[in-house]
Chain A
Amino acid sequence: MKNLKSFSDEELAVYVYSEEKEAYREVVERYQGKLLRYVGSLVGNEDKAEDIIQEAFIKAYINLRSFNAKRKFSSWIYRIAHNEAINYIKKYGRETRLDERQAEKLVGKSNVERELERKEAVKMLGKCLDKLPVKYKSVLVLYYLEDYSYEEISDILRIPTGTVGTRLNRGKKILTKVCSKLGGEKYV
């Protein structure tokens, strides 16, 4: 087998379906951490998130030949995982709770500087995000945690880039309001 590490995601996907199925392991290893973090933040349960991304990887494999190598593989596979997560939430509801690492990243982007308040801020932000509708939360998480661009988020969520911006702004406003109600307005 070739040195797969040097392959781009798109080249790897084509290589898997045209030459070597075993190379799919590399795809899974590249994305399982990221997808687990994203899906985990949506469903709020790491064990369930693991089941969901497992299902997403299986679906991605089955439909791999429908992937257009001219487009970004990451958007494609995030889209599949996102759909699986939404289906799960529709069926069972959500137990949204960010883990500390994720919340800290969000807090960092929000410029909360005082270290003494940091732990409290992380806790509060987790609570606030817990109250946010999934459509805002997914955009916030993809933008702030996963560092995706508007264009990539648009491809993942199948919404226009303008809507990504709108949801991001509204999401932040709702987050502020929710935090204010919970008494944590100073953290966002």
Chain B
Amino acid sequence: MSKDKKKKDISDKIMKDIKAHEVKMKPKVYFVLGSVMLGVSLAFLVLFTSFFIHLVMYRMRIDSPQSFLGFGRMGLTPFLLNFPWIQLGLVVGGLLIGLHLLKRYDFSYKKNIWMVILVAVTLVVTLAFVIDSVGFDRRFGKMKPIGPLYRVNQVGANWVMGEVIEINGEKMIIKGVDGKETIIIWDGSAHVRTGGPIEKGDQLKMVGEWDSEVFVAKGIVKVGNGRVKGLKRVNSQFGVQQ
């Protein structure tokens, strides 16, 4: 078969399908709606990612899981369990999906991809700082379904945190965000990093082990260092009686 004949066959076949209405052109509105949906999805993703960056910042500031690391190996588990992995994962996921969507826009390939990433990350981080600075957590922290995202995991298999409400020698009682009181005991071998005597009202984090209902502390650290009264803020935010 000659090349010209083949060429004719291609156009004939295509036009035959078109005329038989087996192939139909998509309407303009389909593409307009597609662009609108893409824009809306991107805007949503920017807000979503910024909100979760704010949550990571909040948890790192208020919950400060990194303070457990000062206890060495014993602090590793509470650090890993208190670190906002899910929020961080959602941030990374949001950024990746957002960049994937951005690549669907015609302009994206004409720009340096690293510049696009830099602009996108700067935008969401800036927005996260704005959300953080306007006190979003105080306004919406009690609302469902956002509220639970701000809650701190105050009691675990080998850690506990809360505010000191009573202290007597090497025994004290602390109260958590949920209002639950816990008896704490420790001895001279405990690693105490409180920068002074423990007093009523101090916000403490402890690692150790449970002996029935009593927590035997092996390490105690004061949170907030007098600068950010993290747990106190959480307690007041969620309406726990001081």
Asked if residues A62 and B23 are in contact (CB atoms below 8 Å), the reply is yes
Asked if residues A50 and B6 are in contact (CB atoms below 8 Å), the reply is yes
Interface-located stretch among B13-21, B65-73, B140-148 = B13-21
> With A63-B26, A65-B26 given, is the CB distance from A33 to B18 under 8 Å?
no
Asked if residues B18 and A29 are in contact (CB atoms below 8 Å), the reply is no
User: Which residues of chain A from 20 to 46 have any CB-CB distance to chain B below 8 Å in the complex?
Assistant: 21-22, 24-25, 28-29, 32-33
Q: Is the contact region of chain A dominated by helix, strand, or loop, or is it mixed? A: helix
> With A21-B18, A22-B15, A32-B11 given, is the CB distance from A62 to B24 under 8 Å?
yes
What residues of A have a CB within 8 angstroms of the CB of B112 in the complex? 160
Contact digits for B166-181, partner A, Cβ 8 Å, 1 yes 0 no: 0000000000000000
User: Interface size class for chain B?
Assistant: 20 to 34
Taking the complex as formed, is A81 at the interface, i.e. its CB lies under 8 A from any CB of chain B? no
CA A66 to CA B29, docked complex, whole Å: 10
Taking the complex as formed, is B139 at the interface, i.e. its CB lies under 8 A from any CB of chain A? no
User: Interface size class for chain A?
Assistant: 20 to 34
Contact among A54, A61, A154 with B110 in the assembled complex (CB-CB below 8 Å): A154
What residues of B have a CB within 8 angstroms of the CB of A61 in the complex? 14, 18, 23, 25
> With A28-B11, A53-B10, A54-B10 given, is the CB distance from A65 to B28 under 8 Å?
yes
CA A65 to CA B26, docked complex, whole Å: 7
Asked if residues A154 and B25 are in contact (CB atoms below 8 Å), the reply is no
> With A65-B28, A160-B109, A160-B112 given, is the CB distance from A58 to B17 under 8 Å?
yes
What residues of A have a CB within 8 angstroms of the CB of B14 in the complex? 24-25, 28, 54, 57-58, 61
Taking the complex as formed, is A159 at the interface, i.e. its CB lies under 8 A from any CB of chain B? yes
Taking the complex as formed, is A142 at the interface, i.e. its CB lies under 8 A from any CB of chain B? no
Taking the complex as formed, is B27 at the interface, i.e. its CB lies under 8 A from any CB of chain A? yes
Asked if residues A17 and B109 are in contact (CB atoms below 8 Å), the reply is no
CA A72 to CA B23, docked complex, whole Å: 24
Contact among B6, B13, B26, B111 with A62 in the assembled complex (CB-CB below 8 Å): B26
Contact digits for A130-169, partner B, Cβ 8 Å, 1 yes 0 no: 0000000000000000000000001000111100000000
What residues of B have a CB within 8 angstroms of the CB of A66 in the complex? 26, 31
Asked if residues B110 and A160 are in contact (CB atoms below 8 Å), the reply is yes
Give the nearest-CB partner of B4 in chain A.
Answer: A33
CA A29 to CA B4, docked complex, whole Å: 10
What residues of B have a CB within 8 angstroms of the CB of A89 in the complex? none
Contact among A53, A58, A65, A154 with B27 in the assembled complex (CB-CB below 8 Å): A65
Identify which of A21, A64, A159, A161 gathers the most chain B CB atoms within 10 Å of its CB.
A21
Contact among B26, B30, B31, B109 with A154 in the assembled complex (CB-CB below 8 Å): B109
- Distance (Å) between the CB of B24 and the closest chain A CB? 7
Asked if residues A28 and B25 are in contact (CB atoms below 8 Å), the reply is no
Taking the complex as formed, is B7 at the interface, i.e. its CB lies under 8 A from any CB of chain A? yes
Give the nearest-CB partner of A55 in chain B.
Answer: B14
Asked if residues B13 and A65 are in contact (CB atoms below 8 Å), the reply is no
What residues of A have a CB within 8 angstroms of the CB of B17 in the complex? 58
Nearest 7 pairs of A and B residues by beta carbon: A158-B109, A28-B11, A66-B31, A65-B28, A25-B15, A57-B14, A25-B11
Task: Knowing that A32-B7, A61-B25, A65-B25 touch, tell me 10 more A-B residue pairs with CB under 8 angstroms.
Answer: A28-B14, A28-B15, A32-B11, A50-B6, A54-B10, A57-B14, A63-B26, A159-B109, A160-B109, A160-B110
- A sample of 7 cross-chain residue pairs with beta-carbon separation below 8 angstroms, ordered by A number, consists of A21-B25, A22-B15, A24-B18, A29-B11, A54-B13, A54-B14, A65-B31
